[in-house]
Amino acid sequence: MHFAVSLDIAAAAGQAGLTFTEIAGFVREAEAAGVDMVIISDSADAPSSSPFEATTLLAALATVTETIGLVAGASTLAHQPYNLARRFASLDIISHGRIGWNATMRQNPREAANFSRPEGIADSDFHRRAEEFIGIVRGLWQGWDAEALLFDKAAGRFHDPERMHLLDHKGEFFSVRGPLNVARSPQDAPVLVMSGLAAADRSFAAGAADVVMLDEPSPEDAKAVCDDLKRRVQTVGRKPEAVKVLATVPAEFAADSLDDWFASQGWDGLNFALPADISALDNFLDRVLPDLRRGLTRSTDAGATLRDHLGLGAGGGQ
Amino acid sequence: MSGRQMKLGLFLWATGHHIAAWRHPDAHVTAGIDIDHYIKLARTAEAAKFDMVFCEDAAGLREANVQIASQTSRSIGFEPVSLLSALAAQTERIGLVSTASTGYNEPYGLARMFASLDNLSGGRAGWNLVTSASPIEAANFGSTGLRPHADRYERAREFATVVTGLWRRGASGHDGQSFSVRDPLDIEPSPQGAPVMVQAGASDDGKDLAARTADVVFSAAQTLEEAKAFHDDLKGRLAAYGRELDDIKIMPGVAPIVAATKAEAQAKYDALQELIPDDVGVALLSSYLSISDLWRYPIDGPLPELPESEGMKSRQALVIEQARRDGLSIRQLARYFAGARGHWRVVGTPAQIADELQARFEGGAADGFNVMPSWFPGELDAFATLVVPELQRRGLFRKDYEGRTLRDHLGLKRPA
């Protein structure tokens, strides 16, 4: 069983946000307990404020943690694919291979209005655009072969020109030449987490995602969606275990209600969604985490990268 | 001791600023994939009481010709905002300044990112605004070519207005030519009020934008006269925007090579120059001249007549001026610029370098300097252990930080 913690760092109106020290302390305790990854989401649907933007926070957290996976939400409306691919590739090198990108397929109603699209963006356009965006990012992460960097001072050969590849993408919404000016990821490619899936997104996610997060309200609903996703994963020619499905548990829970979620099988793990509230974090560490330990199966020598923790294969071709 | 002290920035650049730095026997060749290397550099600079470290940036390769690119270390590196966010957690006092383009970002996203870096670092962030002049970058963002110079600056002016408005929280709601933003910024205000604004453009459009919005200006000048002319020109534009002379710190780039004797320093420089392949030097020169076919001209002949550029106008003019003044061939000019990309080079003993810096600082040509070590970590260590103590002994540079934020270090007012 895999465990993730989603931390929404956007504070409710009138409340103070968490400090970096508080967040780092929490993440280190989750790391010590063997949690696979912490997912930072920072963009609320309603006006609110956070001390930090998720990817910058992740870079700082990477330097004060050693093994836990670090995932940030970043929207396809608020970024350009080249910039986003580059940011996450860079974070993956900083963290020695522990980074994931949580790509949400749900539109945040505030984003279009703040990112120069005052008329908004039609839902069908948003989905086609998001799929194209995710495809570009995955392609850019494949721009450098594993043995591309030579570092040969005497011969003056820094890299092998044959092992660097242009993307040359020309699509409906974007054209991107590439390659990325960041070296290949230590885990071949950062982990692609997808969330906020509508039923129509499931086939795309089955082909592209490494991790899918479900936010169905009950174990029964989550199991039905999970089974459907795993079927689709096989349909596109991937092994069912190539995509890890995590069911999200809504923040208010008692430890004993977790038994329902543990008992139902199908998904690969649970994701605990926590608000930016120090008492909720303490409650999780003191009351829930000890209970989870019985479900934690990862051995300490399972490998250093987030892909290793999740039992995912290499992220790149070539 | 006079009250006025110079500001020092450390211009980070993977293996070093010299184009052949990565081939130097002591250069850290895996710099572009080694975060610990950067943490060490930032801590060295912090221990020497530098005001800031600075990262430049381009969202794409530096060189279109892959055979040329593969002979340099410049095709890979860290994305600078993530790099500096990591450094924020590993340093305590030094300022953290990164370049980000107004061409390929949205103001709301950029304002969030730098406000977050400012919060992570306890008020040490700065944004170096660039408009991006490279067609290689443009091809990564759906454009078929570079936007004309004037259009890039029009967009940059609007961009800067929106970002500073978001940081200062007064303005809410912007509906302009290139951008629209509805809400106030959703990142909490930092101890610094707003990140420091930096600029480097030296064209007329660039200087006007700097006079209106910048706290710090990086510049490139070979001679004291050029540096002073730029300094006086830019500071002369401040009054029109209701600003005072001290509201902007002008920091020209300087590429020092320091050793115990002048001959030893010269030998270090010559050895580096020998490592530059001719085709790499000519390609780099071509990029500063914004032309693609310089290789067609005889390498030992003079620079041909060139059309005015839509790329980096001011750098092109500087290169041409240098070629004419010193009667340099293409090969000589290429070698000259491969060392420091048009920035001022000083080669000598700690006292000689301190003399030169002092002359420009006291001669009204600079408020400080952006230091560009030729290779890392060796030339940074040499500057920090040999030149900085000499500047401190002369009362020209701080012995300890006076405050906690980058604005404190630079003596800048908190934004209204």
Please choose, from the candidates B305, B394, B325, B344, the residue with its C-alpha nearest in 3D space to the C-alpha of residue B2.
B394
**Do the beta carbons of residue B32 and residue A93 sit within 8 Å?**
no
**Do the beta carbons of residue A82 and residue A169 sit within 8 Å?**
no
CA distance A199 to A197: 6
Given B33, B71, B175, which is nearest A93 (Cβ)?
B33
Of A29-38, A96-105, A303-312, B310-319, minimum mean pLDDT range: B310-319
Give me the interface pTM, i.e. the ipTM.
0.96
Each residue's pLDDT tens digit, B116-164: 999 999 999 999 999 987 889 999 998 656 678 888 999 999 999 999 9
Beta bridge partners of B47: none
**Res. A109 pLDDT band, cuts 50 70 90:** confident
Nearest residue of A to residue B63 by CA position?
A181
- For chain B positions 88-107, those within 8 Å of chain A (CB to CB) are 88-90, 104-106
pLDDT at A253: 60
**Do the beta carbons of residue A101 and residue A84 sit within 8 Å?**
yes
- Asked if the C-beta of B138 comes within 8 angstroms of chain A's C-beta atoms, the answer is no
Of A289-303, B30-44, B165-179, B300-314, minimum mean pLDDT range: A289-303
> Per the CB < 8 Å rule, is B188 touching A47?
no
> Per the CB < 8 Å rule, is A51 touching B187?
yes
> Per the CB < 8 Å rule, is A63 touching B73?
no
Q: Which residues contact B332 (CB under 8 A, 6 or more apart)?
A: none
pLDDT at B1: 44
- For chain B positions 52-81, those within 8 Å of chain A (CB to CB) are 58-62, 66-67, 69-73, 75-79, 81
Residue A156 phi, psi dihedral angles, 5° rounding: 70, 25
Smallest CA–CA distance, residue B106 to chain A, in Å, is 6
Evaluate the CA torsion angle B37, A28, A197, A126 in order and state its sign: negative
Please choose, from the candidates B350, B110, B59, B178, the residue with its C-alpha nearest in 3D space to the C-alpha of residue A178.
B59
3-class SS letters over chain B? CCCCCCEEEEEECCCCCCCCHHHCCCCCCCHHHCHHHHHHHHHHHHHCCCCEEEECCCCCCCCCCHHHHCCCCCCCCCCHHHHHHHHHHHCCCCEEEEEEECCCCCHHHHHHHHHHHHHHCCCCEEEEEECCCCHHHHCCCCCCCCCCHHHHHHHHHHHHHHHHHHHHCCCCCEECCCCEECCCCCECCCCCCCCEEEECCCCHHHHHHHHHHCCEEEECCCCHHHHHHHHHHHHHCCHHHCCCHHHCEEEEEEEEEECCCHHHHHHHHHHHHCCCCHHHHHHHHHHHHCCCCHHHCCCCCECCCCCCCCCCHHHHHHHHHHHHHHCCEHHHHHHHHHHHCCCEEEEECHHHHHHHHHHHHHCCCCCEEEECCCCCCHHHHHHHHHHHHHHHHCCCCCCCCCCCCHHHHHCCCCCC
Taking residue A33's Cβ as centre, other Cβ atoms within 10 Å add up to 17
**Res. A90 pLDDT band, cuts 50 70 90:** very high
pLDDT at A21: 97
Tell me the percentage of chain B whose pLDDT exceeds 70: 97
Q: What mean pLDDT comes out for the span A17-35?
A: 94
> Per the CB < 8 Å rule, is A87 touching B81?
yes
Q: What is the dihedral of CA A101, A104, A109, A114, to 10 degrees?
A: 20
Nearest residue of A to residue B70 by CA position?
A159
Nearest residue of A to residue B109 by CA position?
A78
In this structure, the strands spanning B180-181 and B174-175 are antiparallel
Nearest residue of A to residue B107 by CA position?
A115
pLDDT at B363: 97
Residue numbers in A near B30 (CB within 8 A): 151
CA distance B6 to B27: 28
Q: Which residues contact A92 (CB under 8 A, 6 or more apart)?
A: A98, A99, A185, A186, A187, A190
pLDDT at A317: 44
Task: Record the tokens describing residue A307, joined without a space.
Answer: 């892909």
In this structure, the strands spanning B196-199 and B180-181 are unpaired
Tell me the percentage of chain A whose pLDDT exceeds 70: 93
Q: What mean pLDDT comes out for the span B362-379?
A: 97
> Per the CB < 8 Å rule, is B188 touching A176?
no
pLDDT at A42: 76
CA distance A124 to A121: 8
**Res. A300 pLDDT band, cuts 50 70 90:** low
Task: Record the tokens describing residue B98, joined without a space.
Answer: 């990164």
Say whether pLDDT at A316 is over 70.
no
A to B CB pairs, distance under 8 Å: 190
- For chain B positions 186-205, those within 8 Å of chain A (CB to CB) are 186-188
Taking residue B29's Cβ as centre, other Cβ atoms within 10 Å add up to 21
- Asked if the C-beta of B308 comes within 8 angstroms of chain A's C-beta atoms, the answer is no
Nearest residue of A to residue B280 by CA position?
A156
CA distance B283 to B281: 5
Task: Record the tokens describing residue B54, joined without a space.
Answer: 């600075």
CA distance A116 to B91: 36
> Per the CB < 8 Å rule, is A56 touching B85?
yes
Residue numbers in B near A178 (CB within 8 A): 140
- Asked if the C-beta of B172 comes within 8 angstroms of chain A's C-beta atoms, the answer is no
pLDDT at B143: 64
- For chain B positions 354-393, those within 8 Å of chain A (CB to CB) are none
- Asked if the C-beta of B171 comes within 8 angstroms of chain A's C-beta atoms, the answer is no
pLDDT at A258: 73
- Asked if the C-beta of B108 comes within 8 angstroms of chain A's C-beta atoms, the answer is yes
pLDDT at A312: 93
